[in-house]
């Protein structure tokens, strides 16, 4: 168990409750003490705090050499929703009599911020619980230094209600800049920018604000499409054959982000519980994939994939390991280039013709311990060789991923049928030409012999 | 020449519905599988026509089945139970089509009301009607709505497996239709058998002494 995990198991402190106890104790102490001492022990007012911390450039050099910013712009804090609770609402442990402390053990700004998340939790328990279930928290627990905690998205000294729902200020853009740029150009962002009353979603509308789940699980964003766009199924059924199948194997952005490149992701699934295999599974682990992916310069080839699946099945995994194919935008950013439905791809040839772009890029994926998908490049031939019958039996786009050898069979059938007829005709003519045709022995009357006689 | 009523009306209706249906299925099937290479109609139109005609053919198949099950004409499909006789008959028929016909030899098979298929036809039609067409219909239905029948699709190994079986039979039917139309032209005139399948009457020659 790492340090972060331990941190999140601290019993929840009720900040206000704790603060009330501290304030009550201070009050009793003050009643028995001298008036001068009472002034020293009273909680500082925000004005007192900002008297020092409002000065630009106030900072503290930590032991590891990093800088902890101590400056709080007074005007920003005044506009913040947190100004109502004042500085001690969060920094309840500050005692003016001993502040600043001679020594405070703060290893790094990051560790300080992580510690302070417990203060956020005191008031925003529900949001904190949601965050704890998120991919962000999972990454924090795995010591990912870039994973966001409360203060990475919400400036604690400048929290403005609704700011996180503004296209301009949405905090997700700090880490997901490429996705944000794509989103800015999408119909959703444009609608939102045009009208403040628009119900078009911002990031949290599809991914949720705090319980952010990795898209690899295939549960979040697409369900969000259905939540807002009522009647999707019926609308598609009017023109799209096999609608339910398309909804299962084609992600919404694959068609509704028409400028996106598309790819096929084949996820390894344990058929027993229909759950994706995890990369932390020793039998599936990264080394196995990496070994397979080295079998060809273009990634895992058809034979290596079939061998891999056989290996997985031999290794004692309870259910048969299968690949679940899905057509999707090539990158997360491209998945956000959503347009008006009038521009969406509705030409079946985009996917159903041989050599179409979506099937030129293939990944084989598993789920990392934190929940995100880990994809390994595969050769496009995994989709259209005879071996694919065994390994990718569950994913097939008519025309687009057809098995080439069957085309040869179809051509042979045409040539064979036509050749049989033409050959038979020619032989008949040759026998006549060579005088080998003797209708008399067949009982035919010569007058009827104007062609091969039969049946 | 005598005229025998070989093809009753229900059989003729079934046959021509089947004929035009199968040809339509082949053409739309080609369009579906080779969109981009063939662009006669849109992919979607081809799929809709393919599905619609497919269901018509399935219904037509059951009309055929019910008719024969309720008619004494079912005898035409009863197999030759003697393997020796069947083998010899098949050999004679294959020899005739492969050589005898060019020499002007008589057809070893003589059609009659309750025996209208020669040994080769008898074997082939039983395979087509009792195996290939039902499998083709079944795989077609599975692919018509893969999600609805996902349990069965998965049972057989996935939609790619289902499609491959469908395409294998598709390829056979392409060959079969071409060969069938040509062989149909080998009557005493080129159009004799086609006419018979319209009128119901086949022109039948008197059997030569010793002929089957």
Per-residue pLDDT of chain A (455 residues; tens, 9 = 90+): 333 333 343 334 344 444 444 444 444 444 444 444 444 566 788 888 999 999 888 888 887 788 888 999 999 999 999 999 999 899 888 888 888 877 777 888 888 899 899 999 999 999 999 999 999 999 999 888 899 999 999 988 988 887 778 898 899 999 999 999 999 999 999 999 998 788 899 999 888 899 988 875 554 467 788 888 989 999 999 999 999 999 989 999 999 999 999 999 998 888 777 778 776 665 555 555 666 555 556 678 888 888 888 877 765 555 678 888 999 999 989 999 999 999 999 999 999 998 899 999 999 888 887 788 888 889 899 999 999 888 899 899 999 999 989 999 999 999 999 999 999 999 999 999 999 998 754 444 333 444 444 43
Which two three-digit tokens encode residue A425?
């005709």
Residue of B23, B96, B174 to mutate when probing chain A, most A C-beta within 10 A: B174
What is the Cα–Cα distance from B51 to A444, expressed in whole angstroms? 47
Answer for the pair A155, A172: CB distance below 8 angstroms, yes or no.
no
Element (H, E) at A288: helix A286-293
Give contacts of A 335-364 with B, CB under 8 A: 348-349, 352-356
The pLDDT of residue A223: 76
Q: How distant, in Å, are the alpha carbons of A242, A266, A395, A416, B159 from that of A245?
A: 5, 16, 11, 36, 11
* CB pair distance less than 8 Å for B178 and A451: no
- Got the DSSP string for A232-266? HHHHHHTT-TTHHHHHHHB-HHHHHSTTS-EEEEE
Q: How far is B210 from chain A (nearest CA, A)?
A: 12
Which two three-digit tokens encode residue A321?
């390991």
Answer for the pair A392, A309: CB distance below 8 angstroms, yes or no.
no
Which two three-digit tokens encode residue B99?
């050589």
What are the residue ranges of helices labelled H in chain B? 9-33, 43-69, 83-95, 101-103, 119-127, 133-144, 150-155, 159-184, 192-199
What are the residue ranges of helices labelled H in B70-100? 83-95
Answer for the pair A406, B171: CB distance below 8 angstroms, yes or no.
yes
Contacts of B178 in chain A (CB under 8 A): 414, 416-418, 420-421
What are the residue ranges of helices labelled H in A83-202? 109-123, 125-132, 135-141, 150-153, 177-184, 187-194
The pLDDT of residue A445: 39
The pLDDT of residue A309: 84
The pLDDT of residue A295: 54
Of A401, A406, A424, the CB nearest to B167: A406
Q: How far is A274 from chain B (nearest CA, A)?
A: 13
Q: How, if at all, do strands A262-270 and A362-367 pair?
A: parallel
- Of the pLDDT bands very low, low, confident and very high (cuts 50, 70, 90), residue B210 is very low
- Check pLDDT > 70 for residue B16: yes
Query: Please, what's the largest Cα pairwise distance for chain B?
Result: 61
Residue whose token pair is 């794509």: A182
Q: How distant, in Å, are the alpha carbons of A9, A14, A179, A214 from that of A139?
A: 16, 26, 19, 11
Number of A–B residue contacts, CB under 8 Å: 170
Degrees to nearest 5, angle at CA A203 with A280 and A208: 60
Output the CA torsion sign for A136, A140, A146, A151.
positive
Output the CA torsion sign for A239, A245, A248, A250.
negative
Beta bridge partners of B202: B4
Contacts of A402 in chain B (CB under 8 A): 33
Give contacts of B 147-166 with A, CB under 8 A: 147-148, 154, 157-161, 163-164
* CB pair distance less than 8 Å for A441 and B157: no
Which two three-digit tokens encode residue A445?
């009357």
What is the Cα–Cα distance from B162 to B152, expressed in whole angstroms? 10
Which two three-digit tokens encode residue B208?
């030569």
Query: Please, what's the largest Cα pairwise distance for chain A?
Result: 142
- Three-class SS of residue A168? coil
The pLDDT of residue A283: 57
Answer for the pair B85, B50: CB distance below 8 angstroms, yes or no.
no
- Quick check: A405 contacting B, CB < 8 Å? no
* CB pair distance less than 8 Å for B158 and A395: yes
What is the Cα–Cα distance from B15 to A449, expressed in whole angstroms? 29
Looking at domain B2-204, which CATH architecture does it have? Up-down Bundle (1.20)
Burial of A127 (0-12, 13-18, 19+ CB in 10 A): middle
Contacts of B187 in chain A (CB under 8 A): 454-455
Question: B113 Cβ partners below 8 Å, 6+ apart?
Answer: B4, B5, B6, B73
Sequence spans of domains, chain A: 3-161, 241-402, 406-448
The pLDDT of residue B211: 44
Answer for the pair A257, A188: CB distance below 8 angstroms, yes or no.
no
Tallying the residues shown for chain A, one arrives at: 455
- The candidate with the shortest Cα–Cα distance to A169, out of A178, A179, A180, is A180
What is residue A297's DSSP assignment?
A: T
Contacts of A269 in chain B (CB under 8 A): none
Sequence spans of domains, chain B: 2-204
- The candidate with the shortest Cα–Cα distance to A263, out of A336, A351, A366, A367, is A351
H/E/C letters for each residue in B49-71?
HHHHHHHHHHHHHHHHHHHHHCC
Long-range CB contacts for residues A113-119, cutoff 8 Å, separation at least 24: A113/A149, A113/A150, A113/A151, A113/A152, A114/A4, A114/A7, A114/A140, A114/A149, A115/A7, A116/A90, A116/A150, A116/A151, A116/A156, A117/A149, A117/A150, A117/A151, A118/A7, A118/A10, A118/A12, A118/A13, A119/A13, A119/A15, A119/A90
- Quick check: B7 contacting A, CB < 8 Å? no
Average pLDDT over residues B40-60: 97
Phi, psi dihedrals of residue A314, rounded to the nearest 5°: -75, -25
The pLDDT of residue B212: 43
What is the Cα–Cα distance from B203 to A375, expressed in whole angstroms? 69
Q: How far is B148 from chain A (nearest CA, A)?
A: 8
What is the Cα–Cα distance from A286 to A129, expressed in whole angstroms? 31
Give contacts of B 26-85 with A, CB under 8 A: 32-37, 42-44, 47-48, 51
């Amino acid at each position: 168990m790492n340090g972060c995990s331990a941190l999140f198991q601290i019993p929840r402190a009720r900040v206000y409750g704790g603060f009330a106890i501290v304030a009550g104790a201070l009050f009793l102490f003050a009643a028995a003490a001298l008036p001068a001492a009472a002034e020293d022990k009273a909680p500082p007012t925000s004005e007192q705090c900002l008297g020092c911390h409002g000065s630009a450039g106030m900072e503290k050099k930590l032991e590891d050499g990093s800088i902890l910013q101590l400056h709080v712009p007074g005007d920003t804090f005044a506009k913040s929703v947190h100004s109502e609770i004042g500085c001690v609402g969060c920094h309840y442990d500050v005692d003016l009599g001993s502040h600043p402390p001679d020594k405070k053990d703060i290893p790094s700004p990051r560790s300080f911020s992580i510690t302070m998340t417990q203060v956020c939790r005191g008031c925003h328990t529900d949001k904190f619980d949601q965050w704890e279930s998120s991919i962000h928290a999972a990454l924090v627990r795995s010591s990912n230094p870039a994973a966001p905690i409360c203060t990475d998205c919400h400036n604690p000294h400048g929290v403005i209600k609704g700011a996180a729902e503004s296209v301009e200020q949405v905090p997700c853009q700090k880490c997901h800049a490429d996705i944000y740029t794509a989103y800015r150009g999408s119909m959703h962002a444009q609608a939102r920018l045009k009208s403040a009353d628009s119900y078009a979603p911002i990031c949290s509308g599809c991914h949720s604000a705090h319980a952010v789940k990795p898209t690899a699980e295939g549960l979040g964003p697409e369900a969000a499409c259905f939540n807002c766009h009522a009647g999707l199924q019926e609308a598609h059924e009017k023109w799209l054959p096999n609608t339910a199948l398309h909804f299962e194997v084609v992600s919404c952005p694959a068609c509704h982000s028409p400028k996106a490149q598309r790819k096929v992701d084949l996820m390894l699934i344990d058929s027993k519980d229909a759950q994706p295999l995890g990369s932390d599974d020793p039998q599936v682990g990264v080394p196995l994939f990496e070994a397979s992916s080295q079998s060809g310069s273009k990634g895992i080839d058809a034979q290596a994939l079939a061998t891999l699946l056989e290996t997985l099945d031999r290794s004692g995994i309870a259910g048969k390991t299968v690949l679940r194919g899905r057509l999707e935008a090539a990158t997360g950013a491209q998945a956000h280039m959503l347009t008006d439905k009038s521009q969406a791809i509705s030409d079946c040839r985009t996917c159903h013709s041989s050599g179409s772009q979506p099937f030129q890029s293939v990944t084989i994926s598993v789920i990392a311990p934190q929940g995100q998908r880990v994809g390994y490049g595969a050769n496009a031939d995994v989709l259209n060789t005879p071996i694919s019958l065994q390994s990718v039996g569950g994913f097939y786009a008519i025309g687009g991923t057809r098995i080439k050898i069957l085309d040869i069979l179809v051509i042979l059938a045409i040539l064979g049928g036509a050749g049989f007829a033409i050959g038979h005709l020619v032989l008949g003519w040759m026998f006549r030409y060579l005088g080998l045709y003797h209708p008399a022995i067949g009982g035919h009357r010569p007058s009827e012999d104007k062609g091969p006689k039969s049946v | 020449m005598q005229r025998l009523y070989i093809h009753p009306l229900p059989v003729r209706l079934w046959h021509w519905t089947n004929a035009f249906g199968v040809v339509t299925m082949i053409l739309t099937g080609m369009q579906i599988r080779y969109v981009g290479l063939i662009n006669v109609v849109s992919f979607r139109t081809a799929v809709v026509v393919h599905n619609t005609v497919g269901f018509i053919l399935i219904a037509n198949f059951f009309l055929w089945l019910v008719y024969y099950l309720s008619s004494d004409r079912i005898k035409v499909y009863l197999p030759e139970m003697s393997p020796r006789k069947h083998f010899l008959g098949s050999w004679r028929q294959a020899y005739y089509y492969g050589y005898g016909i060019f020499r002007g030899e008589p057809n070893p098979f003589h059609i009659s009301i309750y025996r209208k298929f020669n040994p080769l036809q008898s074997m082939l039609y039983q395979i087509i009607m009792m195996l290939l067409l039902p499998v083709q219909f079944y795989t077609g239905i599975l692919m018509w709505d893969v999600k609805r029948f996902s349990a069965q699709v998965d049972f057989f190994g996935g939609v790619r497996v289902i499609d491959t079986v469908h395409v294998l039979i598709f390829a056979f039917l392409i060959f079969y239709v071409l060969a069938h139309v040509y062989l149909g032209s080998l009557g005493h005139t080129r159009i004799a058998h086609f006419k018979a399948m319209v009128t119901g009457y086949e022109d039948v020659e008197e059997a030569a002494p010793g002929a089957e």
